[in-house]
Structure 1
Amino acid sequence: MLVQNSLSEVLRAREELFSRTNWNDPTSQLQNRVKGEDLARYFVLSDSERVGIQNTIRLLVSTTPYYLSLSDPSDPNCPIRRMIVPTKEEAIFSLEESADPLEEERLSPVRGLTHMYPNRVLLFSNHSCSVYCRHCMRGRKVSSNEERMEKSDLESAFDYIRNHPEIEDVVVSGGDPLNLADLRIEWILKELNQIPHVKICRLGTRNPVTLPFRITDAICQIIEKYNDDNLSIFCNTQFNHPKECTKETKEAILKLLKVGVSVGNQAVLLKGINDDEETMLTLHKKLLEMRVRAYYLYDPELIPGSRGFRTPLARGIEIVEYMRGKIGGMGIPQFVNDLPGGGGKITIGANWYLGFYPKTRQHVFRSAVTKKIHFSFEPIGSNKESYYPKISDEEWEKWKPR
């Protein structure tokens, strides 16, 4: 039974939580994580949230005190709160949803490894995160002790990679790989560094956002040690809202940059959180200020209990179209859909290219800045005309140069 506390009681409970947490110590942050049964102490819950906490069909609830401090205790529409607290939509399993929409398990030759693309694999390093985001697309695995990756499981994964010389790129994800102990992280990076055909390692971690204090000098020294001529290490994180861009996160990002690790951002388009143009533009401006380059903007996956987060496909296209011309290209993410059924990622762009008019050999474009129509000629002798979508005579009359 969730007891409803007043706002004054919630504020006192937050103050007590924050004061007993050794703020800059990642271990203390993890030890003081707030679980589902405690959310009523730190939020004035809505009826929808109470139903969601009690009946969620997804992963466990947990947040660090740091990430909790970014949320509004009284506003159910607070974007950070929406990513922490379940709502009633999480209790609904729709017909179109699947626990594993990308069929990662079908594409898993050994436990904890997904081999979808010929030269790349995804290594599921662990099952734990600092914050269990409500939109997590691996809710079937994250927070479940049954999905714990033992050292023997990781050794089997490394053996598979060694025996497949076509694998050049390993994404280390989870859970959050930076929730592992330093020694385990060093072992994983050392193993990958010693496989001659593995050239790229990408760390998929949200800790720069949810637990920036985990980016310690010690972990940066480990990463720097194995970020060498044999292995290039990158980091992809997930900022979803400008409120997540704090001085603490910037300090964490700068530490990674100083040891030669390029940081990219993979945002998820989330209904009621960041599905408007100005929010997404502001987010990516702040990311560039932190020297984080835009990478992906994900269309939400069809996972159980996710109907409260999903947006029309057109929203992502409209947002990326709006951003063009208002921020440098390195601040504009690729809008991607990771196709259900294990089809891999595809990019979905705005319709700047309108087509080709064979009679004049001209391509027709729409400017992202002025919205006016512009023209360019196909080279003489080209054999690619059949590749382009054709413009009809009627359309040409509407657009042709005057």
Structure 2
Amino acid sequence: MLSFSSHEEIITNRKELFERTKWTDATSHLQNRVKGEDLSKYFLLTDSEKIGIRDTIRLNVSSTPYYLSLSDPFDPDCPIRRMIVPNSSETVLSPEESPDPLHEERLSPVRGLTHMYPNRVLLFSNHSCSVYCRHCMRGRKVSASSERMSKEELEVAIDYIRKTESIEDVVISGGDPLNLSDTRIDWILGELESIPHVKICRLGTRNPVTLPFRINQALCEIIEKHNTDRLSIFCNTQFNHPKECTPDAKHAILALLKAGVSVGNQAVLLKGINDDPETMLVLHKKLLEMRVRAYYLYDPELIPGSRGFRTPLGKGIEIIRYMRGKIAGMGIPQFVNDLPGGGGKITLSPDWYLGYEKSTRKHAFVSAVTGKIHYSFEPEGSEEFVYKEFQEDMGGMD
């Protein structure tokens, strides 16, 4: 049962929460995580949020004190708050939604492993995260104790990888793999390092965003130990808004970089949070300052209760068009749709290519910088490819 607090009580409650948390100790943050029934102590809830907390059909609610400290307790439109607190849109199941739209379970040869691409697999190492983000596309697994992976189950999954020589690349996800103990992480990385055909390991973690203190010296030493000429370790994280780009987050990123780990960002396009072109540009400028390269911008998945986050497909293309020419290419993510039904990822982008004029061997392009048409020539004697015909009926030609 929720009990509701006044402005003054909320400010006092937040202060007490932050003071009892040992701020640079990741364990203390996990021990003091805020659950759904306690949100009213730290936010002045709207009616929609009260309904969402009570009736959500998604995953459980949980936030570290650190991540909660980035949110506004009195502004329901605060982007961080939107990723922490459910609202009434989470209580509605739309006809097109599915708990597993990507068919990850159907493509699972053994428990905890998805084998969608021939040379790559996704290993679900655990079910726990530091923050249960409301847009999480694996709500069917995350926060559910029944999805906990025992060591024996992990051994079976790793044995499948060992026996399947086509697998070169293993993505470790969950939940958040960095919520595992140092001992378990050390063991998993050691097992993968011992498999000759596994060359790449990618850690999928949001802890640099939601619990940066987890990226401590002991963890980095473990990662660096296994980041060898036999196994190359990468990290993909998820910053979704400039407010998440804090000094603590940058410190965590720098620690990973010093361990030899390249860090990329996989943002999710979220309605009312970051679906503004300038917000996305500022985010990726800040990420480059933190030495994080852009990787993906995800179109939201068709998961239960997600209608409040989903945007039109054209919105992502509009954002990429806006960013081009305003930031270095390494700061522009690929806009991707992970196709329902296990179709894998496809990239979507503005159509800069206008067509080909065969008589002059000229390709026509529209410039993201000038907005004008520019030409490039096809080599003489090239007949191998067929291009769409350029219709020269546009103004502003260069």
Q: TM-score under structure 2 normalisation?
A: 0.99
Rounded Cα–Cα distance in structure 1 between residues aligned with 2:71 and 2:84: 9
User: What residue number does 1:200 align with?
Assistant: 200
Paired residues for 1:14-163 under 5 Å: 14-163=14-163
Consecutive unaligned residues of structure 2, counting only runs of 5 or more, are none
4+ residue runs over 3 A deviation = 397-402
CA apart distance, 1:351: 1.2
CA apart distance, 1:389: 2.2
User: What residue number does 2:330 align with?
Assistant: 330
- Tell me if the contact between 1:250 and 1:290 (Cα under 8 Å) persists in the aligned partners: yes
Q: What is the count of residue pairs matched by the alignment?
A: 398
User: What residue number does 2:295 align with?
Assistant: 295
CA apart distance, 1:2: 2.1
Rounded Cα–Cα distance in structure 2 between residues aligned with 1:292 and 1:336: 19
Deviations 1:181-222 (A, max 9, x none): 000000000000000000000000000000000001000000
SS of 2:8 mapped into structure 1: helix
Rounded Cα–Cα distance in structure 2 between residues aligned with 1:400 and 1:266: 36
CA apart distance, 1:110: 0.3
Aligned-residue Cα RMSD (Å) equals: 1.1
CA apart distance, 1:401: 6.0
Q: Is it true that 1:389 corresponds to 2:385 in the alignment?
A: no
Q: What letter corresponds to residue 260 of structure 1 in structure 2?
A: G
Q: Is it true that 1:180 corresponds to 2:176 in the alignment?
A: no
Q: Is it true that 1:398 corresponds to 2:394 in the alignment?
A: yes
SS of 2:203 mapped into structure 1: strand
Change (3 A) 1:397 1:277: closer
Change (3 A) 1:181 1:384: same
Q: Is it true that 1:256 corresponds to 2:252 in the alignment?
A: no
SS of 1:385 mapped into structure 2: coil
Deviations 1:93-127 (A, max 9, x none): 00000000000001000000000000000000000
User: What residue number does 2:373 align with?
Assistant: 373
User: What residue number does 1:168 align with?
Assistant: 168
User: What residue number does 2:189 align with?
Assistant: 189
Change (3 A) 1:83 1:228: same
SS of 1:337 mapped into structure 2: strand
Rounded Cα–Cα distance in structure 2 between residues aligned with 1:4 and 1:143: 25
Rounded Cα–Cα distance in structure 2 between residues aligned with 1:360 and 1:47: 64
SS of 1:398 mapped into structure 2: coil
SS of 2:154 mapped into structure 1: helix
- Tell me if the contact between 2:372 and 2:396 (Cα under 8 Å) persists in the aligned partners: no
- Tell me if the contact between 2:201 and 2:233 (Cα under 8 Å) persists in the aligned partners: yes
Q: TM-score under structure 1 normalisation?
A: 0.98
Deviations 1:126-170 (A, max 9, x none): 000000000000000000011000011110111111111110000
SS of 1:141 mapped into structure 2: coil
- Tell me if the contact between 1:358 and 1:385 (Cα under 8 Å) persists in the aligned partners: no
Rounded Cα–Cα distance in structure 1 between residues aligned with 2:150 and 2:304: 27
Change (3 A) 1:13 1:164: same
Rounded Cα–Cα distance in structure 1 between residues aligned with 2:280 and 2:245: 13
Q: What letter corresponds to residue 177 of structure 1 in structure 2?
A: P
CA apart distance, 1:256: 0.4
Deviations 1:335-361 (A, max 9, x none): 000000000000001111111222332
- Tell me if the contact between 1:265 and 1:293 (Cα under 8 Å) persists in the aligned partners: yes
